[in-house]
Structure 1
Amino acid sequence: MIGVSHLRTTLESVVLSSIMKLDRSSMDKLFDLMIMMVKYQLTAATGPREVILIILNHVDAIRDMVSDLNAQKCVTLVQEMVLDFYSCLTFEQIWSARECCLKELESYHVRVSILLRRGLQNEDASFNISPQGYNEKYTEHRNTLRMMKIKDVSPETCCGGSFDTFGDRKTLLGKNIYLPTYGVTGTGRRDSQQFFKDCGAKAELGMLAVQLGTEETNYERPFTLNLLSNVDDENVNNTNKEIDAEGNKAKPGSNAGSNEKPKLNEDYKTKLDNVYADFFEDEQQETLKRSMDLLDLLDEIE
């Protein structure tokens, strides 16, 4: 098994392959978050079969991120490689691999706010393992199953959980805990054709967002500028009826003042100046917001 230092080098290469660049402090937070989430998932696993289901949940998350057909085939190939390797191992071999990973991560004690909020972690950074609806009870059946291979045991014997490409994994471990739908059960089996249709729809919506110049789904108008309001028209009409500069009232139909230059509306000028200044301010704020978005997704790590 590779060491954590080599693992970090690999993960940093993955992170830096995107357009987002992180400083050392942000990279440390991201790495600690990933380590603690993996440590929690392995700690909460109730049996060897659930360890495989955790990996498949990770693969499913990758599949949901891509819509390209070739990329989908690559993700499916990864899943097949995982199943080909782990299915031939015994229950005890997989459980021993889990224990080796936890021993390697034993020195990491970081408090993650989302785990604290959900009651899954204590203030001392230890985990509060609570039932998640899936319980293999491997410790109770260890003597019976330890020397059996995963592929030779019926899923119903180990609390279910499908190894199929679009199957129901049953366990929440390995799913995105930041999603608002986390913990919602009863999703059932996903249909492959419907999944690819959804991916195509997401790709088309993304292309439309690029063409419109924004990738945000909910666009809010930053300001409203009304240059031709009814109130202003009434003010203009009232102004034409006012006393002229010589103190004489203008006669109806008179062309007095028709050759004069229109007066500059100071209110509109102030509005336009503010809008012009907001363009630069919004651009600076947007730049700052983009640099902070990733940290917001990481949540607070204490």
Structure 2
Amino acid sequence: MSSTTLPLLFINLGGEMLYILDQRLRAQNIPVDKAKKVMNDIITTMFNKKFLEELFKPQELYSKKALRTVFDRLAHASIMRLNQASMDKLYDLMTMAFKYQVLLCPRPRDILLVSFNHMDAIREFVKDTPCILAQVDNTFQQLIKMYTPLPSGEFQLIRQTLLIFFQDMHIRVSIFLKDKVQNSNGRFVLPISGPIPHGTQIPGVIRMYSCTGEETSTVLFNNAGNYAPAVCEGSFELFGDRITKLGNNMYSVCRPVETHMSGTSKHSSQNTKVKLAPNPLAKEELNLLATLMGGLDVQKNADSGFRVNLFATDEEEEEALISRPDELSYGFINIQATKDQTANAELAKIMGEFSEPQESPDQSPSVSSKGDDLLAMMDGL
């Protein structure tokens, strides 16, 4: 797995979250000043310098529950509030939209194009706020510096890491179903025809090489598709526009979006019980969460909060909350987002509990310790 995937995953999911929230704030006729404050507060937290320093360090992806917790805290970094059902739907839309975009990329390097499109959209949200815009621009420069020099093989590894992260997520989205880009089981319909990426050849040939790099044999196979010749490099700007239009259309106010758990994923989650192995990244995960939740300067706001509903009516939201499978519910602990020495001491104490215990000779390596999984331990506090 690639150790440089986390920043792309976070920024793209964050971009999708901002698309959705922007549309819902408009749909619910939230006053412009409050809506702008919500977007500014979330983007300020998302692009906090200290947080990004942790994010851009080479590291493996965090667990799904840890990442979900980060976005739950991020969505509530302002006066806006979402209940559990709306937060579930928000996260479902974020993950499925980005998963579809990754699958649409003609070549692995185009994941960077998707990221740049999200960054451009985020810049547009804060174009009238210079201090926040500077934060976004700084992150944009970090993306360019970190990812443009990477070879194609590294981007292929990044793509594989993202697909592994998304492989068990098969949430059915009404718009995807209506547009026939998703099957009833939640899996996407991928085209097998169309233009091929620049610098690649039409599929249909398998070449075998010796250990010295010499081609030893060639096997032809039927690709079953209708592929156009390779297009020039600049033509992939159209791909970026296509992704941008996908986001704008998907989250349009006039197109209600519903999400449903597919029967396949629900069945597998109910019947597959996996014993989690000790997580060596537990301390790093907690450090990242502490940076986001406990190390930021948050001004106490006198403005009254308001609730945003991602469903058409309150009744639909309540029904979704009741019907949500128990295994998909997430528990959270409250961490005060201020520079509180007592809170920091508590975080340090919690991190200390992640030290690997000394195993007795008769203890099986598969036995879970108290700190096996970050969020499981946090839920139990």
TM-score by length of 1: 0.50
TM-score by length of 2: 0.40
Larger Cα-atom Rg: 1
